[in-house]
Structure 1
Amino acid sequence: MGKQVVAESARRRRRPTKQGTVLTEAHIVETALRVLREHGSAGLTARRLGAALGADPSTLYRYFAGMDELTLAIGEELIGRALSGWLPGGDWREGLRELGLRIHGAYLAHPQAAVLTASRVSGRPREIEADEAILGVLRTAGFPDRAAVRIYHAFIDQTLAFAALDAASLALGRRARESDEERWESTYAKLPADSHPHIAATAGLLSARMKDSAYPAALDMLLHSAATQLAAARAADRGASGTSAR
């Protein structure tokens, strides 16, 4: 049975830590992000986090039932940062494009945390707020519920999948990442046209493009496909209305 977690007002330390800070959930999450940045996902332990906070590791369990709950809180923080300042309204495609790029960017700002949290579902308030906002944009634009859910599913999974993929590359470290990127020129660009005609024909383009994330292009493709579906549905509705009027 997990340890009982009580309200923050009841579990807040009455005395500052050794570093002169009063612990809160927000401060623990912020410190956990720093520990992840410095030590990677394998380095996020209660002992190391307690040391970074200047508190006994057992103190963490007054705020979180375990390290897995802390992991979910970290993912919630990243989603919250993406939502900050974003408001739905105006063109639905532009709104979703901006939100997708915000989520992707928030995760890439903390690649180690992204690798740890992008695949998780927390059910926490800001995650729910993001899901409600995306579905709201789609339904308000006129997508039927079944289509709205299908596009929402593709949108959020695509965003988080690219966040995890791109974050994993950033988390490799500079030397390994540069080595991977150089292979487009050191290996692919030197493949002979007689054995690999298509790679040889596009080698320059591949070398220029493959070092960047494909997420913006994939996002635009998804939104264009969704817009095409919506236009077709509206045309069908107009046709049906015209037929019934006769």
Structure 2
Amino acid sequence: MPRPRSLSTDQLAAAALTVVDRGGLSGLSMRTVAGELGMSTMGLYRYVADRDELERLVVDRVFDAVDAGPPAGGPWERQVEDLVERVRKAFAEHPAVVALTLVHRHRSRGALRWAEALLAVLGDAGFADRERLVALRALFSYLVGALQLEHLGPLAGAGTQRLAGLPPDEFPHTTANARYAQHVTADEEFTEGLRMLLRGLSPTAGRP
């Protein structure tokens, strides 16, 4: 199999992301990425050390599409919402990559740039050092969890229908919740959940 004379990081990341989009995380390997690039598996080792490095490249590739610039003015809550929605939009096109963000967020420059923008908004809003730390992690946890629920376990679908069909005398709240869930869109669930979280976050300096 012919081997390209040289490969850029962008080419490697694009090939790895294509593999993940097509076959999920279970399909990501040195062999499959090498095949996508039209080269031997051993040839790929000239550029990346292992699958772990491929995963980081994939996370970088998706986060590079996220605008990490300062959000438009307005209340800090609206600015945070803007930044979070940017990540959601980017990962909506590559849902299988969401699970990798928890492992590689500290090594992805794109993720770090986004976190830096979010920390700046929180700092300007009056969040102290510890508060910024907790708020950042809470928001990132919500974002990753909500994205996985949206793409791996959406409200509408067979799972929700099964819950709605449980014995109501044994699970009255679960069945009622499941019936209602069938009428809530993914956008509504995500945005309303984020706003609930933001209502619970406030800087000490801004409290009465």
Q: TM-score range by the shorter chain?
A: 0.7 to 0.9
Q: 1:201 to 1:41 in 2, by over 3 A?
A: closer
Q: Which one-letter code corresponds to 2:193 in the other structure? A: A
Gaps of 5+ in 1: 1-14, 170-176, 237-246
For residues 39-188 of structure 1, what are the structure 2 equivalents within 5 Å?
39-83=23-67, 86-91=69-74, 92-115=76-99, 117-121=100-104, 122-169=106-153, 181-185=157-161, 187-188=162-163
Aligned-residue Cα RMSD (Å) equals: 2.9
Q: Which one-letter code corresponds to 1:212 in the other structure? A: A
Where does residue 234 of structure 1 map in the other structure? 206
In 2, the alpha carbon distance for the partners of 1:128 and 1:203 equals: 37
Q: Which one-letter code corresponds to 2:186 in the other structure? A: D
Q: 1:224 to 1:125 in 2, by over 3 A?
A: same
What CA deviation, in whole Å up to 9, does each residue of 1:121-179 have, x standing for no partner? Answer: 3423222211211111100112222212211111112112222333434xxxxxxx89x
Note if contact 2:71-2:83 (Cα within 8 Å) is conserved in structure 1. no
In 2, the alpha carbon distance for the partners of 1:235 and 1:199 equals: 36
Larger Rg: 1
Deviation for aligned residue 1:60: 2.3
- Percent of residue pairs identical: 25
In 2, the alpha carbon distance for the partners of 1:105 and 1:192 equals: 38
In 1, the alpha carbon distance for the partners of 2:86 and 2:180 equals: 27
In 2, the alpha carbon distance for the partners of 1:233 and 1:80 equals: 34
Deviation for aligned residue 1:30: 0.9
Where does residue 193 of structure 2 map in the other structure? 218
How many residues are paired up? 204
Gaps of 5+ in 2: none
Deviation for aligned residue 1:95: 1.7
For residues 202-213 of structure 1, what are the structure 2 equivalents within 5 Å?
204-209=179-184, 212=186
* TM-score normalised by L of structure 2: 0.82
3-state SS of paired residue (2:103): coil
* TM-score normalised by L of structure 1: 0.71
In 2, the alpha carbon distance for the partners of 1:183 and 1:149 equals: 35
Note if contact 2:66-2:110 (Cα within 8 Å) is conserved in structure 1. no
